[in-house]
Amino acid sequence: MPAAAANGKGDAARTRVLAAFTESVATKGYAATTIADVVALAHVSRRTFYEHFADKESALLASHEEFRADVIATVSKASEIGETTAERIESTITALLQVLSDSPAATKTHFVETLGAGPRAREARREMQRSFVALLISLAERAYQRNPAVRELSPEMATAVTGGLTELIVQAAEEERLADLLRLSDTMIALVSSAFLGVPSWELTRRK
Query: What are the φ/ψ torsions at residue 123 (nearest 5 degrees)?
Result: -65, -40
- What CATH number is given to the structural domain containing 197? 1.10.357.10
Query: What are the φ/ψ torsions at residue 149 (nearest 5 degrees)?
Result: -75, -15
Q: Of 17, 36, 54, at which residue does a domain stop?
A: 54
Beta-carbon contacts of residue 8 (< 8 Å; ≥ 6 apart): none
Residue 4 structural domain = 1-54
pLDDT category, 196, cuts 50, 70, 90?
confident
Q: What is the pLDDT of residue 203?
A: 53
112-167 residue pLDDT tens:
999 889 999 999 999 999 999 999 999 999 888 888 888 888 999 999 999 999 99
Average pLDDT over residues 47-70: 94
Does one domain contain both 72 and 150?
yes
14-44 residue pLDDT tens:
999 999 999 999 999 999 999 999 999 999 9
Q: What is the pLDDT of residue 164?
A: 96
Beta-carbon contacts of residue 141 (< 8 Å; ≥ 6 apart): 152, 153
Q: How many domains does the structure of the chain reveal? A: 2
Does one domain contain both 50 and 66?
no
Q: Of 37, 54, 71, at which residue does a domain stop?
A: 54
**Better-predicted residue by pLDDT, 185 or 4:** 185
Does one domain contain both 21 and 105?
no
Does one domain contain both 5 and 77?
no
* Mean confidence (pLDDT) of the chain: 89
- What CATH number is given to the structural domain containing 37? 1.10.10.60
Does one domain contain both 44 and 124?
no
Residue 122: its H or E element: helix 119-146
Question: Is the Cβ–Cβ distance between 41 and 59 less than 8 Å?
Answer: no
Separation in Å, CA 132 to CA 125, 139, 162: 11, 10, 7
Q: What is the pLDDT of residue 199?
A: 55
Does one domain contain both 173 and 153?
yes
Average pLDDT over residues 47-76: 94
Does one domain contain both 121 and 35?
no
Q: Of 54, 73, 88, at which residue does a domain stop?
A: 54
Question: Is the Cβ–Cβ distance between 14 and 98 less than 8 Å?
Answer: no
Q: What is the pLDDT of residue 25?
A: 95
Q: What is the pLDDT of residue 173?
A: 94
Q: What is the pLDDT of residue 36?
A: 95
Q: What is the dihedral of CA 43, 45, 51, 54, to 10 degrees?
A: 90
Residue 81 has pLDDT above 80, yes or no: yes
Q: What is the pLDDT of residue 3?
A: 44
Does one domain contain both 3 and 35?
yes
Does one domain contain both 47 and 71?
no
Residue 202 has pLDDT above 80, yes or no: no
Does one domain contain both 119 and 25?
no
Which range, of 6-10, 68-72, 99-103, 155-159, averages the lowest pLDDT?
6-10
Percent of the chain with pLDDT over 70: 90
Question: Is the Cβ–Cβ distance between 186 and 97 less than 8 Å?
Answer: no
Does one domain contain both 27 and 123?
no
Does one domain contain both 83 and 145?
yes
